[in-house]
Amino acid sequence: MLVLLFSQDSNFTKHTTLPDFPACFQLSVLPWAPCIFLWLTSPFYIFYLKRNNRGYIMMSILNRIKTVLGLILWIVCWTDLFSSFHEMSQNQLKPPVYFVTPLVLGMTMLLATFLIQFERLKGVQSSGVLFIFWTISVLCAIVPFRSKIMNASQAEVSLRFTMFYIYFGLILLQLILSCFNEKPPLFSSVVTDPNVCPETTAGFLSKMTFWWFTSMAIKGYKSPLENKDLWSLNKHDSSELVVPNLLNEWEVEKSKAQRYEFRQIMIQSFTALTKFESSKSIVSPEEEEVLLSKRKEARQPSFLRALLRAFGPYFLIGSAFKLLQDLITFVNPQLLRMLIDFTKQPQAPSWWGYSLAFLMFSASLLQTLILHQHFQYCFVTGMRLRSGIIGAIYRKSLVITNEAKRSSTVGEVVNLMSVDAQRFMDLTTFLNMLWSAPLQIVLALFFLWQNLGPSVLAGVAVMVLLIPFNAFIAMKTRSYQVEQMKYKDERIKLMNEILNGIKVLKLYAWETSFKQKILQIRQKELNVLRKTAYLSALSTMAWTSAPFLVALTTFAVFVTVDVNNVLDAEKAFVSLSLFNILRFPLNMLPQVISSIVQASVSLKRIQGFLSHDELDPESVDRRNNTSGNSPHSSHTSLVCALLGEMEKLEGQISIQGSVAYVPQQAWIQNATLRDNILFGRPYAEQKYRCVLEACALTPDLEVLPGGDQTEIGEKGINLSGGQRQRVSLARALYSEADVYLLDDPLSAVDAHVAKHIFDNVIGPEGALKGKTRILVTHGISFLPQVHNILVLVEGRVSEMGSYQDLLKQNGAFAEQMSIMSNDPENPKKMSRRRRCSERRHPESPSEKKELKVEKLIQAETTETGRVKLKVYWEYAKAVGPLLSLFICVLYGCQSATSIGANVWLSEWTNDALLNRTQDRVHMRVGVYAALGISQGTARVSAAHATHLHMLHAVLRAPQAFFEATPSGRILNRFSKDVDTIDSVIPENIDIWMRTFWYTVNVLIVCSALTPVFLIVIVPLMLLYWWVQRFYVATSRQLKRLESVSRSPIYSHFSETVTGTSVIRAYGRNTAFVLLSDMKVDENQKSYYPGIVSNRWLGVRIEFIGNCIVLFAALFAVIGKEKLSPGLVGLSVSYALQVTMSLNWMVRMTSDLESNIVAVERVKEYSETATEAPWIVKDKQPPPDWPPKGNVEFIDYSVRYREGLDLVLRNISLEIKGGEKIGIVGRTGAGKSSMTLCLFRLLEAADGEIVIDEVKISEIGLHDLRSKLTIIPQEPVLFSGTLRMNLDPFEKYSDEEVWKVLELSHLKKFVSNQPSKLELECSEGGENLSVGQRQLVCLARALLRKTRILVLDEATAAVDLETDDLIQSTIRTQFEDCTVFTIAHRLNTIMDYTRVLVLDKGKIAEFDTPTNLLAQKGIFYGMAKDAGLA
């Protein structure tokens, strides 16, 4: 209709200085447009409001005014209608329009009034639909308003005129009112939440422009943001809504799959039956197998469907916005065509040019707003996806079977949560391109065809040819990525183990060997990266030169096909702007496809994990064959079976009542000591004190720096083994369960403490009397006091009965007892302990110590403020300074050639002659190629240097660093941050350089053509700089907060995975799930403002870009006499592109700043304070040192960390070579510290240790540690072969290794294994029992065979037979060595040369055992407790 009107009345409208529309158009199309909009949208809108009710809003003055205005408008419209009827009765014939329009308008005003009230009832504070309706109404009414004023002088003022003025005033008022907000609905979270997100109450305009975010941008600019400044997470994005939603859909999927499988089985069995009936033949087992395997792969529950159902609908709203934006994109090239057309006609009225300029501006503005709404929807979907996936994985990891747990290590699952969930998040932003890109391509081609006819096909052919090339690159990249992921998994897994076993690595001086292993993996990873870099350089080259090649071929073909074809400015530049539009979808498609492919890999991994078998909650009828067949493994397996942690093959187990469980290796959380004991139960002072007392923890609280508020490091790293075990026991005791499963809780504690605990907790008179308790123990001293004894041999119950019965039976048990009968530990009945309640506690430890509790684990530091230039310099140094400079210059050249090509194109269009096209092409393509390749090399060298430094520093860090830093945090640096340096930063730099030069180009071109442009550029650039300053400060800090709040998610997760059996036994699943959700929400709280900040920036920066378009067009109109059409085309088409590049440039500046933080964080760890050097060249001891093994402590003192109390005070003693020294004392007396000093894991605060005339503080750590041997308290094994675990440097021959295996009684076990010495140990040696692991440590010691041996409570977790084996081996094999033993069972050291008794870090007694017993001092008391005196 518009076009028709234009052509008919073009003299009336266009070719005049006072344009106007025909009356018919003013009466029909213009008033109807807003009505049509409202009637089309309202059904959907009403449906949406019915679904999303936010509570209702009280009538306010604003609301009343809007409603009254709506009714007045209705009256006005119908007054118009009645006046038409009145005129009809006066016999003035009116066209039907005069009746239809007022009628339609009146109905629409009623609908609008209804919506105003309906929205109030549904809690809408600001209405988008009505705002758009009023805006369109006002815009459409302006034209008749103007023409009525113009014609007012000619016509008399009638009722209709008056009514129209009133109508116009009212809709203007409605528009203004609809900009204001209503009050929030009653009882909404806005009222209750102190730090609510302003988005919930923001108006429509504020939401469209993201104005509501401004307050945070200002706050972030004034001072670095902190956690307290962040808004609460919107309810819809929180885990408590998102995760259950996803899990429900997943359950639906699973049940569908099960039903399907059941149907398949029925069908198959039915067909088999009919076959059997028909042929009377029997299906062979093989066929059955085939049938079954077919069924296996038939139908897995699809996680993708669950995701789509949970998050699809919300995402579709975003897609709708995208569709709109795609359509608007094509308005500007059409306007550009009209503009160039306009510059050609000298007599065209200038108002037409101005209106074209403003139309371009408004089209761009609309596009901006819509595009960012689309992004907002996509990003929020991505964020919810991530919450959902992490939640689902966490919940699953609490219930999977041990079988499944073994198949995916902690590292892999953490990767699922971090990397794979992230992949999905990234995908959602691009997913719409999957349909939008083809749509844009089709539209662009349609317009191009109109413009240039069939010669477009030449250009299209070039594009199509590039597609397989890119597809090939994408496929290759994809396979490299999978490979890189594999190496990354390996590297992180090994890193995780190194961090868990760092103490052992240091004690054995094995760091270098493991560093080599990691660097080997890293090298493979870098090789893959290098290949990827070259590939991406190739594809970048192809893509950047694509639009150029396409344009070139198209124009060349166009000109040569037909002599009449002239390439004028209109054709050339409209086509160029269309080609530019084409460039984006074509660029994106391969990216989207590779993104989808990556996400599909992730999807498979996640789906696989979520489909693992779960433990059967109905039982303790749960299943698993015992996890090893050595004699030592079966006790623990029995307890696991009772907990339902094993897979049941047959039979049944039943437990009545609640369960408390003390595992063999205590599981301690990273929390305060009190929280570890309470484990989520309410604190009751009296009961708590009794528990501490019974578990002998009261004396420990006095030693710990903060009493029971002391924070305990990850895995209980700052407690001794005995303390950990007692805390674990206290947790069980406090939980007041009905059944207690105690898996060897007394092994790690000293004999007298064990006795105290047995008497006060476990024994017949203990706190647990009257409860069922199942105790796995290796200590025979307590056996006479238990009701029933089960003897397990090789996983079977060999005997069962009371102590006396079993002795009479003379079976294996009696035999074992007789072996041990030379062991005098025989229980003396102690006086019945007084009941706890009768004791008056003198004063509770926590009151006495009102100390400031020093947190062990400091919050992760976040650097604030600007990223230092030094960091960029670090990165540039890692690349190589010269190379960096070279790259910058290359970008400049590339940019210059691109300007050249376009300026020259405009010259060509002006004289429409064919010049030297060919030479340019070669030059340009050459520059691209050089660029791409140099980038590839830069990327890899940077990645290599940074990782190497960090790894080296972390391995060199002193032990205290690992106690104070959670391993999750270190891992986060090695996975996430290294990944950023590997792949993200180079990409950022690439895009930044390109956009920077591009923007510079545009400004140069526009200014060169219309110098007036410079006047506008200055304020615009100032505005740009100002907005970006606000944004960068805020967004950088948000990124930092986000990455800091990310680590706890993974730390908490890996902690949970190691403690699942305990968490399940106590039934604490829900609490832990809530904790995890809380941590995820904390993380999303800083992520969400981060996304919005990008949108906020985008809208503002693109507004600046749109202004540039406006001014470029305006100046073109003003200077049309001086400018050729070609140059107008050039400047405007460049300006149209600038919006995009401005936006990208700020985004990339900020991304680069945020990601370069990774370099900063890695650098921070590369500068960790290191321990002493591993080797001191000029102080190296002779190779046969120490020849004798004399050890002397001279006035020696030591503390754990700066600022803590001394653990050992002024110790002086002399030990001759070959002496055997036993070290005893209460927990916390400093026994373990003493051995750590020998290895210099703790450096002296004062004094010296001298070994065979060498001061150990002067020589290198590796020289020292490799000359001492320790059998540590906890046997740590690394995943790898058994051979590697014994001899990582491969110094010894196989014969030697077999010999030590024989001496350590492992030969039988190892030679029974199919792979012999190459037996794979799983992560942490999980596939060997604790006893076997201890024997492996013994084998390590035998293999090194140094003059000094330290035994740290090494016999704690071993049963009596193994203990005997170890003791006798040590006595024979280390006969001439100096041996230090930290003893728990005093009987092991009764025949030692001397015994050292420590008390509170000082030497209390030091003499031969017989003399000490005669002295009746501390040692005598301990011996008496153990029944040895």
Q: What is the mean pLDDT of the chain?
A: 78
Question: What pLDDT digit, counting tens, does each position of 900-924 carry?
Answer: 666 666 666 665 444 444 344 444 4
Q: What does the chain come to in residues? A: 1429
Within a 10 A sphere around the Cβ of 822, how many other Cβ atoms?
7
Alpha-carbon distance of 1078 to 240, in angstroms, equals 9
What does the pLDDT average to over 1143-1149? 75
Decide if 125 contacts 57 (C-beta within 8 A): yes
Residue with tokens 């371009």: 360
Residue with tokens 């059955």: 288
Helix (H) or strand (E) holding 64: helix 61-89
Question: What pLDDT digit, counting tens, does each position of 228-287 carry?
Answer: 888 988 888 888 899 999 999 999 988 988 888 888 888 888 888 887 766 654 555 555
516-527 b/e with 16+ CB inside 10 Å = b?
A: ebbbebbebbbe
Alpha-carbon distance of 174 to 287, in angstroms, equals 77
Helices (runs of H) and strands (runs of E) counted in the chain: 53, 17
Residue 847 has pLDDT above 50, yes or no: no
What does the pLDDT average to over 393-409? 81
Tokens in use for 1413? 């017993």
For position 1080, what pLDDT does the model report? 92
List C-alpha distances in Å: 872 to 142, 866, 949, 1032, 1150: 55, 12, 16, 16, 13
Tokens in use for 1374? 């280390």
Decide if 1032 contacts 1134 (C-beta within 8 A): no
Tokens in use for 277? 């009936």
Residue 954 has pLDDT above 90, yes or no: no
The alpha helices in 1267-1326, defined as continuous H runs, are: 1282-1286, 1294-1303, 1307-1312
Give the residue among 775, 677, 691 at the shortest CA–CA distance from 727. 677
Residue 210 has pLDDT above 80, yes or no: yes
List C-alpha distances in Å: 320 to 170, 371, 389: 32, 10, 25
- Entry pTM: 0.73
Alpha-carbon distance of 342 to 756, in angstroms, equals 100
List C-alpha distances in Å: 1060 to 80, 340, 648: 77, 71, 18
At 179, is the secondary structure helix, strand, or coil?
A: coil
Using pLDDT thresholds of 50, 70 and 90, give the confidence band for residue 1364. confident
**Residue 741, phi then psi, degrees to nearest 5:** -105, 110
Give the range among 347-361, 654-668, 876-890, 1209-1223 with minimum mean pLDDT. Answer: 876-890
Residue 487 has pLDDT above 80, yes or no: yes
What does the pLDDT average to over 524-553? 73
Alpha-carbon distance of 41 to 64, in angstroms, equals 24
Give the residue among 554, 142, 572, 573 at the shortest CA–CA distance from 355. 142
Alpha-carbon distance of 1393 to 643, in angstroms, equals 45
Between 416 and 635, the higher pLDDT residue: 416
| Number of Cα atoms under 13 Å in the Cβ half of residue 948 | 12
Between 986 and 504, the higher pLDDT residue: 504
For position 250, what pLDDT does the model report? 92
Question: What pLDDT digit, counting tens, does each position of 1193-1245 carry?
Answer: 888 888 877 777 788 888 888 888 888 888 888 777 777 788 788 888 888 88
Which of 353-367, 417-431, 1108-1122 has the highest average model confidence (pLDDT)? 353-367
154-188 b/e with 16+ CB inside 10 Å = b?
A: eeeeeebeebbeebbebbbbbbebbeeebebbeeb
Question: What pLDDT digit, counting tens, does each position of 15-46 carry?
Answer: 667 777 777 788 888 888 899 999 999 998 89
Within a 10 A sphere around the Cβ of 686, how many other Cβ atoms?
10
Alpha-carbon distance of 1123 to 1129, in angstroms, equals 10
749-769 b/e with 16+ CB inside 10 Å = b?
A: bbbbbbbbbbbbbbbebbbbe
What does the pLDDT average to over 1319-1328? 77
Question: What pLDDT digit, counting tens, does each position of 89-148 carry?
Answer: 887 777 888 888 888 889 999 999 999 999 888 888 888 889 999 999 998 888 888 888
Question: What pLDDT digit, counting tens, does each position of 829-845 carry?
Answer: 333 333 333 333 333 33
Alpha-carbon distance of 1015 to 1115, in angstroms, equals 11
Decide if 976 contacts 1043 (C-beta within 8 A): yes
- Residues 6 or more apart in contact with residue 770 via CB below 8 angstroms: none
Alpha-carbon distance of 417 to 243, in angstroms, equals 14
Alpha-carbon distance of 1374 to 430, in angstroms, equals 67
Tokens in use for 453? 């006819």
